[in-house]
Amino acid sequence: MANITEIKFEEEFIPNSRGMKLLTSRWLPRKENPKALIFMCHGYAMECSITMDSTATRLAKAGFAVYGVDYEGHGKSEGLQGYINNIDDIVNDCAHYFTTIAEKKENKKKMRFLLGESMGGAVTLLLHRKKPEYWDGAVLVAPMCKIADNMKPNAAVISIMKLLSIVVPTWRIVPTQDVVDTAFKDPDVREQIRLNEYCYKGFPRLKTGFELLRVSTDIEERLKEVSLPFLVLHGEEDRVVDTSVSKELYEVASSSDKTIKLYPGMWHGLLYGEPKENLDIVFSDIINWLEERCQYGNTRIEREQKQYNEDSVKGSERNG
């Protein structure tokens, strides 16, 4: 596999439907036509342009056009840092930006893949639920389909959270372990994240914690509805997101094309939190999976073209 070494990185602020400016980032092969489009969904408290830069750079060097957006309240986007009022707002913002890119004339015939890490995996699955036939596949990295028991508050605390989140939604009092220490194996990465002013630190805000719990529970109960081709990756030593639900997703999803990769000894942060030799294994698996799908041909485009032709014939018959 020949790597493309020269890539172009660009940033741009766009408004969302609520009038907030969101930072969008793109990593593009400079001199070659991209093999496909990849749309990244970052994790809770993270952002795209710094923490996921190495991920996007690897994929762009392999020939893919990569796009990301910092959610409201995350990274360089506007909004109260670390605050999620409703995860549906995040899904709608991503859907709007990603489809705007995908529907450009030069991109119409390119395959569209989603890549979601942790909470971004949940966002990816909700994007798929919103438009089940639109995406050509997804890479799900430790997707937040269920919060690990050691990270989840007990039932009594959850009941109190639910009530308080209505009254004081932005309070930072949700009791959790330090996610940075439990998610990222590489101590240098932990330090980089702690020094990154665009990564949220501290306890989750009340409404944020309740939204993460609500959405992960909802997705866990509806895994059978997942129907797009997917690759799910999970470290067997993940203490943030329960590995068992990735296994259940693989077993019960209705997708005819599904693959699971479990990595012994690896933690939650598979894309940038592991030693280099582990990252090389993970990205080799991701890029190989993507390239195999690109080689199969784009059945979605064939299906859309067939529908277009059928509609054109029906239109001609009506007009005739």
Instruction: Provide the annotated active-site residues.
Output: 118, 238, 268
Distance CA 46, CA 77 (A): 11
CA distance 66 to 59: 7
Three-class DSSP category at 194: helix
Judge contact between 199 and 73, C-beta under 8 A. Answer: no
Strands 37-41 and 65-69, how do they pair?
parallel
User: In 3D, which of 145, 184, 146 has the Cα closest to residue 271?
Assistant: 184
Is residue 147 classed as helix, strand or coil in its secondary structure?
A: strand
**Contact between 210 and 162 (Cβ < 8 Å):** yes
Both tokens of 173, joined, read 């009092």
Task: Count other Cβ atoms within 10 Å, centred on residue 232.
Answer: 24
Distance CA 180, CA 268 (A): 10
Give yes or no for a contact between 165 and 207, defined as CB atoms under 8 angstroms apart: yes
Report the distance separating Cα 66 and Cα 112, nearest Å.
10
Q: For residue 137, give the DSSP letter.
A: E
Three-state DSSP string of 69-136: ECCCCCCCCCCCCCCCCCHHHHHHHHHHHHHHHHCCHHHCCCCEEEEEECHHHHHHHHHHHHCCCCCC
